[in-house]
Amino acid sequence: MFRFVAPVSIALLAGAAITLTQSGSGPAPAVAVPAPAMAAELRAGAPLDTAVFAGGCFWGIEAVFEHVRGVRSAVSGYAGGKTTSPSYEDVSTGSTGHAESVRVVYDPGVLSYGQLLQVFFSVAHDPTQLNRQGPDHGTQYRSAIFYRTPDQQRAAEAYVRQLTAAKTFAKPIVTQIVPLTAFYPAEEYHQDYIVHHPNQPYIVYNDAPKVENLWVRSPELYQ
């Protein structure tokens, strides 16, 4: 498991992002969301499980989940489309139907699927933005949960209903909840991108604040 940067360093990067956010750019602020009412119990001794999420550029989503306690790996890739083994250039056209996604492998004895959902909706992205996320536009940046099992589908749908009933967000949630048909890992240069390019302006303004928000809002889950 990698370590991105120390929390103090993340805070400095997030501070730089505040100025950009105030000027109308940068990521949306994190939202305090309740724990899922239909949260799965921890299952000691259970085999590793997999979840797949999409919510804008996969660099930031991957970085957030890599810092969640109980996550064994997070891989950037493509899901939800019709093209087999697409390239980044293919997906970027918006014509393949794929979304930039992240495959999360986690330990159900340490972390529940419900907790993954809570992280996804609170700090990883803004689920009210349709076919975009921050500065990125197009269906390839849509918000989506790709469920692998009926249990994941029920949990995701129930959580969206819960957040909607509680009026957690000022705007409607537009997250798609659809079956996972295939996941294609992205090119190697996209993996752990935030680790290799921590000072890139896009990372500083859009992704580092997400990791910072995870640390601030859910310290019990941060690693």
pLDDT tens string 155-207: 999 999 999 999 999 999 999 999 999 999 999 999 999 999 999 999 999 99
Task: Give the DSSP letter string of 41-65.
Answer: PP-TTPPPEEEEEEES-HHHHHHHH
User: What is the pLDDT confidence band of residue 26, given thresholds at 50, 70 and 90?
Assistant: low
Q: Is residue 57 annotated as part of the catalytic site, yes or no?
A: yes
Asked if 217 contacts 32 with a C-beta cutoff of 8 angstroms, the reply is yes
3-state secondary structure of 119: helix
Q: Of the listed 33, 57, 64, 68, which one is catalytic?
A: 57
Q: What angle do CA 129, 179, 45 make, to 5 degrees?
A: 105
Residue 29 has pLDDT above 80, yes or no: no
Alpha-carbon separation of residue 171 from 19, 127, 129, 178 (angstroms): 24, 9, 9, 21
Q: How much is the pTM? A: 0.88
| Token pair belonging to 174 | 């537009």
